[in-house]
Amino acid sequence: MTTLQTAPATLPTPLGGTLVRRIWRPGQDFDPAELAGLPRLELPAQNVADLEMLATGAYSPLTGFVNEADYLSIVEHLRLADGTPWSLPITLAVSREQAERLGGRVVLTHAGQDVGTLDIEEKYLARKAWEAREVYRTEDEAHPGVAALYAAGEVYLAGPVTLFEVPRGEFPRFHRTPAEVREVIEARGWRSTVAFQTRNPIHRAHEYLQKVALELVDGLLLHPLVGRTKSDDVPADTRMEAYEVLLRGYYPQERTLLSVYPAAMRYAGPREAIVHALSRRNYGATHFIVGRDHAGVGSYYGTYDAQEIFSAYTAEELGIRILKFEHTFYCQSCAQMVSPRTCPHDASHHLILSGTKVREKLRAGEHLPPEFTRPEVAEVLRRAYSRS
């Protein structure tokens, strides 16, 4: 009897050539007893997420919070000082007083628990107004990323980090490191994998984009961000329930992988889209979907700025193929999901609901139309909002 053999998976090389791993190894790294007398530094939620992303290799080739040369180059040139593509400064801010008392190895804590270490190699002053203008394209503190930037300390600490243990958080079944996602892709024999970033429940437009992409590749990595988001974003547990319901009923199980992305949202629009793509390369994806207003907030960015910014790099530098999609929606006359490229009808024929309108309907106990989202997903959202 002939057995069909699955072709071996072809995974992209991590950015920088090697997947960074800075997770503490018992018996091989320092003894935790050595840390007893060291100073402690409490991390806010964003930096805890950064610590995990750095230590697990999601932010390869970064091994820690960036030094001044890399900081200046990232903000000005969208590259590390050595020319490697990178668009967001991953920094650790402290007050001047804290900076004066900290040096050498520092134990990083969160909620009073030791979570890792930082070996301080450099301290430098943040250029906050400049950073805000270049990274967020505004100094308006109504922008959540700018507000967080200005609220943090004035001095950045730089150096390599070590994470004591991968925090599996609320979703341990779906919380995989880049190395673990790569193992799944290899085991399934996917030669090409498209990643989809979302901080919202999947509606029909998202589903349309994902399934169009699945016609081109072997597998879909549905990779919802579960780190810190705005207070009015749909909570992560609600989103995860909606994803599970949708995937069970409407996606091929052998060609989809739901796995959480533990980063915090910075709402940096185009700049954040680049890091979202490069980090998915580190997770093993060969393709990445960028739709309208990726990682945006308010009206700070143009509708397709997050697609256009990728022209700053060559395809070889990116190492991951960017799939650029226009705004998609349900057309009542076409009776299907469409985009401006495929639909001849004007806006009066289109069913488009803003996030604000969706939240209003849910709070009022109204049903979302099936043309906008699957009934099973709508029910998950309705229950969640009826409890709030």
**Catalytic positions, written as ranges:** 199-200
Three-state secondary structure call for residue 250: helix
Cβ atoms 250, 243 nearer than 8 A: no
Give 3-state DSSP helix, strand, coil % of the chain, rounded to 5.
35, 20, 45
Q: 203 Cβ partners below 8 Å, 6+ apart?
A: 372, 373, 377
Q: How many CA atoms lie within 13 A of 320 on its CB side?
A: 31
Q: Give the C-alpha separation, 301 to 266, whole Å.
A: 14
Strand 329-331 to 219-224 pairing: unpaired
Q: Give the C-alpha separation, 296 to 307, whole Å.
A: 12
Report CA-CA distances (Å) from 69 to 14, 72, 271: 22, 5, 19
Neighbours of 243 (CB within 10 A): 22
For 296-317, b/e burial (b = at least 16 CB within 10 A) is bbeebbeebbbbebbeebeeee
Six token digits for residue 49: 């997420």
Q: Give the C-alpha separation, 282 to 35, whole Å.
A: 31
